[in-house]
Structure 1
C-alpha cells in the first residue's frame, strides 16, 4: 500500500521523555516531507505548544490541536473549530468551582487560562509546553478544551462524577493525572477526516502514530495505525502495527520502512 499522509500524536509519540524529537526521527520525518508526504501533528496541546516542532521539522502543513477541537493552518488561521457548548461550559464550571485545589485549565483558541498560576501542576505544564498560563477570566465563553490536573485518585473520582453528569461530552484521562473535557464532536479521527479533503487523500492512505487512549479513535480510523512501544496494551491491540518506544525512534523505524530513500 502507498501512503500519502502521516498524522502523529506529539507527547509520548513524536517526542521522547525529554520532550525532544530525536535526531533520527527528525531526519526520517524531513525525508518524508521532502518526498511530498504531509506530516501533520495531532495533539491535545494548544497551538503555541506545537509550533516549535512545526518549525523544527520545517513542515508547511496544518496542525490539529486540542485533540481535534481546533485545526490551524501554517499561519495559525482556523480551518476547523469545535467548541464546548455554552450550557455545558456553564455547568462544568459550576461543578469545578468545588475543586479549586486542582489545576483547572481552559483552552480557547490560542490562549491558555488557569484558575491558579502557582499550582504545581500548572507550573509543571508550563515547563513541559514552554507556555505561560493567564488567570482565567469569569466571562470566558468560547472554550475548546478543559484540562484538570492533579493527584490521580482525585482525578479518577472527578472523572466518574463528570461522566455521570455529562454523558454527552468527551471526558477522558490522557494520563492518570490529566482529565480532559471537550465537545464529543471533537475527536482526532474527525479532524483527520476533515484534513483528508484538504489533502485529497483517503483514510486508507493515511499512517497514524499514537501512544495513549486519546489516540484510540485516530488509530482505529487510519489505514495504517501504529502504536508506540510505550503504549498501554489496549492501544497496542487496536493498532495494526507496534513500533519501538518514543525513546528508541519508533516513528523513524516505520517511516524508513514505508518511505525508503531512493538514491
Structure 2
C-alpha cells in the first residue's frame, strides 16, 4: 500500500497548456481522500509551486528548489532548508562573469539577475515569475540562496558541467531541470534527499512511496522511491531507471499512475 506520492510539476503534473486537467485533479483528490499524502517536488521556487499546490487543494509540505527547501503549505513552516555554500556561489559568479554566462539567483523567494535579457524574459514567461535586476550582482551572490541557475545552449551546458563540478567541489549538487537550465544547489538539495526526509517526517517507509517525473533532476527521487515512475514524455535516461512508464503529461499520465497503483482501478 502506497502512502506518499511525490509529483514533479512541469511536464509531469501539468500539461503543455500549464494546466492540471480535471481528470488528474479528481485522481489527486481521490488519493487524498484515501489517506494518501500527495506532495509536489519541483525545481521551482516556493512562491510558484505554492500557487499550483493551493489550486490543487494540497495542504502538506511541498518540495521546492530541487529539494533545497521543504515548506508547509498551511503555516509556511520551513521543515528542511539547505543553502548553496557562499564560497561556491562566489566562484560560480566569477566563472559566469568571465565566460559571459547568464546566471540568476533566488533570495527570500525572489529571483535576481545582473541584467535583463531574453534568457531571463523567456524563463520568467515560462513559469510566471517576477524578477529583479541588481547590476552590482555580487551583493545578492553573497546572500543565502537555495539555488542558482545558468541558462544556455544544452550542449554547452553539458560541456561546462564537469568543469563546474571540479571548480565548486563536493558540497554542491548540479543538475538539469530542462535541457537549457543548469541548476546548482547544496549537495543535499536533491529531490531524493527531500523524499527521504518527508517519508521519515510522515512515518512511512520509502518502499511505500511513489515518485513521478520527466527530467534528469527527478532521477534521485525515482531511485529513492518504492515505485519510480517516468512520464511518457520523459527523457530516455529517466525511462531507463524507472520502475514504470506512464502516459505523457498531455494524456493524464499522473492520473493513470494513481488509478493503477493507489485506487486499484
TM-score, normalised to structure 1's length? 0.92
Residue correspondence of structure 1 range 13-162 to structure 2 within 5 A: 13-74=12-73, 75-100=75-100, 102-117=101-116, 119-136=117-134, 137-140=137-140, 141-162=143-164
Q: Distance in 1 between matches of 2:226 and 2:58?
A: 22
Question: In the alignment, what sits opposite 1:244?
Answer: 247
Q: State the shift of 1:179 in Å.
A: 0.8
**CA deviations over 1:124-150 (Å, ceiling 9, x no partner):** 121121111112453232011111112
Q: Distance in 1 between matches of 2:239 and 2:113?
A: 34
When the two chains are superposed, the root-mean-square deviation of aligned CA atoms in Å is 1.7
Q: Is the 8 A contact 1:63 1:71 kept in 2?
A: yes
User: Once structures 1 and 2 are overlaid, which stretch shifts more, 232-241 or 207-216?
Assistant: 232-241
Divergent runs of 4+, >4 A: none
Aligned residue pairs, count = 259
TM-score, normalised to structure 2's length? 0.92
Q: Is the 8 A contact 1:31 1:261 kept in 2?
A: no
Partner of 1:39, secondary structure, is: strand
Aligned: 1:4 with 2:7: no
**CA deviations over 1:15-55 (Å, ceiling 9, x no partner):** 11122112211111111112221111000000111112111
Q: State the shift of 1:94 in Å.
A: 1.1
Q: State the shift of 1:261 in Å.
A: 8.0
Partner of 1:40, secondary structure, is: strand
**CA deviations over 1:57-93 (Å, ceiling 9, x no partner):** 1111111111010111113331111111121111111
Q: Which of 198, 202, 212 is the aligned partner of 1:199?
A: 202
Question: In the alignment, what sits opposite 1:219?
Answer: 222
Structure 1 residue ranges without an equivalent (≥5)? none
Q: Is the 8 A contact 1:207 1:225 kept in 2?
A: yes
Partner of 1:97, secondary structure, is: helix
